Chains A and B, each alone.
Chain A
Amino acid sequence: MAIVFSGTKLPQSEIAEIQKEIYADWGTFRDSDIGIEEGHKSGAEVYESKVSVNMAAYSSGAISAGSDTLTVGRTPVTLTKVQFADVIDNNVLLDTRFERSMAAGAFNLVSSEFDNAVLQDITPAIGATMEDVTWDGATTAQKAAIAALTPGAAQGSISAGAQTLAAAMPTNLVNSIPATILYNASISKDTPGAGLGDYKKVTSIATITSATIAAEYAKLYAVIDPKLIADQQNQPVIFAPLAHRQLMRIANNSVGAASNQNFLFASDANDAKCFYNGIEVKFKPLVGFMIASPPKYLKVLMDLASDMSVLETGAMPAGAEQMWYKNVQAFATWVTNQRYIVLYGG
């Protein structure tokens, strides 16, 4: 007997697990890979000091004024308040799998499954965004300021390549660490006030591939101030783009080449610590730039770092069957002791 079916055919099963996006956590905030400074709501003062002394011929007489310099600079840094917020209309979830986890009653539209499987990903998505904006991007004003700098090849001038990279950065509400290194208003620079940062750049750089990565890291390493390399209390770290881990592994295992492992990995694990000439390399969502610096010279100022994972929610007023969520943060990047920061690509 023939089966006669009329009507719309619908799928009768589903994959239980909801397939999710990856929300990367590169450790900047979780592991405090740079100086995370909390307790600042709208602005903070950053003090830097520098003492230089001069040897003089001995005298048993009274000390007269000398030429030592004890410098203290105070720079105000303004935090930008940002938010992640939206309105959710749960009514959209009707006619989907989430309907099954809604309480009985037409007024009830909250799906516990949706809350647990999708809504809870807002916080990690915010974390991933904060990581991204920390390492890449600049405000419109910062981009204009960087573009207006006079480019040149020598130390003490911005390279044209850096201006190209800055122009291509995402336009954000806050400045990333590279954008702040390139241009800032620190009072503690050689030329105090708004202008080019005091960073050291690496000249004669080339495109980084698995074939060139060792040579390019050598150029970066050579520019690091030897004082930092010798300072056991304040060791520099190389902050590198994420893809460099793969390029390093490929370079270390180059087919047909003599074994020449320039990059030392603590293990074969994909998240293993990596070192170049004894300096730890940490991989961050940087684009085009690399930074070699003691981590504490690179700062993120915040009210509370845990603000990142605070998501307030509530029902919309006046009988609306919608709910809102909101995350609020105060944020600014800053750099200190700039003369010791090497910005590859700068």
Chain B
Amino acid sequence: MAKFINPFETGVSYKDFLKSIPKGVTIKTHLKGKLTSEQIEWIESEIKNYKNN
């Protein structure tokens, strides 16, 4: 199993984080239990911005 990449860890870019998510798994599911729901919501909105930028 691939090592979990915490997006809040210093030096982790969104590009690296997205690459670490298994295909077909949502960000919410991937982060559930690993981050708080507030953090997950923010990361979801950040990734939305990241993809649109």
CA separation between A99 and B25, bound complex, in Å?
73
Nearest-neighbor residue (CB-CB) of B41 within chain A: A206
Other than the known A152-B7, A152-B17, A161-B46, what 7 A-B pairs have Cβ atoms closer than 8 Å?
Answer: A151-B50, A153-B46, A154-B8, A157-B13, A203-B8, A204-B38, A204-B41
CA separation between A335 and B8, bound complex, in Å?
26
Best-surrounded residue of A151, A156, A163, A204 (most CB of chain B within 10 A): A204
A118-174 residues at the B interface, CB under 8 angstroms: 147, 150-157, 159-161, 163-164, 167
Let me know if A152 and B14 touch, CB within 8 A. yes
Which residues of the other chain, B, contact A77 by a CB distance below 8 angstroms? none
CA separation between A164 and B38, bound complex, in Å?
20
Let me know if B49 and A161 touch, CB within 8 A. yes
Which residues of the other chain, B, contact A159 by a CB distance below 8 angstroms? 46, 49
Best-surrounded residue of A153, A163, A203 (most CB of chain B within 10 A): A153
Which residues of the other chain, B, contact A147 by a CB distance below 8 angstroms? 53
B interface residues, Cβ below 8 angstroms from A:
7-15, 17, 36, 38-39, 41-43, 45-47, 49-50, 52-53
CA separation between A237 and B36, bound complex, in Å?
29
Let me know if A154 and B7 touch, CB within 8 A. yes
- A185 CB-CB contact with B under 8 Å: no
Which residues of the other chain, A, contact B7 by a CB distance below 8 angstroms? 152-154
Which residues of the other chain, B, contact A152 by a CB distance below 8 angstroms? 7, 11-14, 17
Number of A residues, CB within 8 Å of B = 19
Which residues of the other chain, A, contact B11 by a CB distance below 8 angstroms? 152, 154, 156-157
Task: Jot down 7 A-B pairs with beta carbons below 8 A, ordered by A.
Answer: A150-B13, A153-B42, A153-B43, A155-B10, A204-B36, A204-B39, A206-B41
Main secondary structure of the interface of A (DSSP, over half): loop
Nearest-neighbor residue (CB-CB) of A155 within chain B: B10
Nearest-neighbor residue (CB-CB) of B50 within chain A: A160
How many whole Å from B52's CB to the nearest CB in chain A? 7
Contact of B53 among A153, A164, A206 (CB under 8 A): A164
Main secondary structure of the interface of B (DSSP, over half): helix
Closest 8 CB pairs of A and B: A160-B49, A160-B50, A204-B42, A153-B7, A164-B49, A154-B10, A160-B46, A152-B13
Let me know if A160 and B12 touch, CB within 8 A. no
Which residues of the other chain, A, contact B52 by a CB distance below 8 angstroms? 164
- A44 CB-CB contact with B under 8 Å: no
- A304 CB-CB contact with B under 8 Å: no
How many whole Å from A279's CB to the nearest CB in chain B? 23
CA separation between A157 and B10, bound complex, in Å?
8
Let me know if B53 and A154 touch, CB within 8 A. no
CA separation between A167 and B53, bound complex, in Å?
8
Let me know if B14 and A203 touch, CB within 8 A. no
- A205 CB-CB contact with B under 8 Å: yes
